[in-house]
Amino acid sequence: MEIFTSWPSWREAEGPLIQALPAPTVDAVREAFAFARRCHGVQQRPTGRPYVEHLLEALEVAVAGAGLREQEVLVAVVLHDVLEDTPCTERELARRFGARVAELVRWVSRPRGTAKADHLAALVKAPAQAVLVKLADRASNVQELQRMPWRFQRRYYLETVAYVLPLAGAHPWFAEWYGEWRRLWRRVERWPG
């Protein structure tokens, strides 16, 4: 299974992005990353690593893995957690990056007070572009799931199988990647309680 951790900083990401994408798209993604880095500040992943590494992993999944090229989707991939995890508002996102990017980010952001399972289940109604954002996000989160405590691993695995894998079916690269990931993690389904 391919792992996407080659772009831990913008410096490592920029060269491959310049080779893969038109200059205006690279510029838009660069601007979105700078904005996301300011919004997320010193936030860390559960592993203690800088949170912005997750954003670049999701971007690497989208570009280097799935071959996505659509500017609005890639910008949304980089911004996918700013509504859920920072004080940034949808209105601010729309003003800076356009209404479509703000809409895609809103689709993948769990509203406060909403159960995670309900939010994930609602993604079956999301636009295809928002689903691509979620698939790239979740691939970043699960590619090294073994780093997390086992109870988290089990819950996250089962949640991914129940809600995210069905979304991947319409996207051949994601369907294959998640299929391989599931084969590697199938042992989790047999864990007790």
Residue 108 lies in a domain: yes
Residue 137 a catalytic site member: no
pLDDT category of residue 146 using cuts at 50, 70 and 90: confident
* Residue 4: inside a domain: no
Q: Indicate the number of domains in the chain.
A: 1
Report how far residue 142's alpha carbon sits from residue 51's, in angstroms, rounded to the nearest whole number.
15
Whether residue 53 lies inside any domain: the answer is yes
The per-residue DSSP string of 123-168 comes to GGGS-HHHHHHHHHHHHHHHTTGGGS-HHHHHHHHHHIIIIIHHHH
> 23 exposed, middle or buried (CB, 10 Å; 0-12, 13-18, 19+)?
exposed
Domain assignment present for residue 131? The answer is yes
Catalytic residue among 85, 90, 92, 159: 85
CA–CA gap between residue 54 and residue 21 (Å, rounded):
20
The domain in which residue 160 lies consists of 10-190
Asked whether residue 134 is domain-assigned, the answer is yes
Within its chain, how far is the Cα of 169 from the centroid?
Answer: 17
Domain harbouring 52, CATH code = 1.10.3210.10
d(C-alpha 71, C-alpha 24), whole Å:
8
Average pLDDT of the residues in 145-152: 87
pLDDT at 33: 98
Task: Report the alpha-carbon distance of residue 90 to residue 84 in Å, rounded.
Answer: 10
Determine, yes or no, domain membership for 3.
no
Locate 173 and state its tokens: 């690269």
Q: Is 85 among the residues known to form the active site? A: yes
Q: How far apart are CA 79 and CA 86, in angstroms?
A: 11
Looking at the predicted structure, is the pLDDT value of residue 193 above 60? no
Query: What residue has token string 């997750």?
Result: 54
Q: Within a domain: residue 44?
A: yes
**pTM score of the predicted model:** 0.94
Considering the candidates 12, 31, 84, 159, report the single residue annotated as catalytic.
84
Give the tens place of pLDDT for each residue, 11-60: 999 999 999 999 999 999 999 999 999 999 998 987 788 999 999 999 99
Place of tokens 């994601």: 174
pLDDT in tens, 105-130: 999 999 989 999 999 999 999 999 99
Residue 176 placed within a domain: yes
pLDDT surpassing 70 at residue 188: no
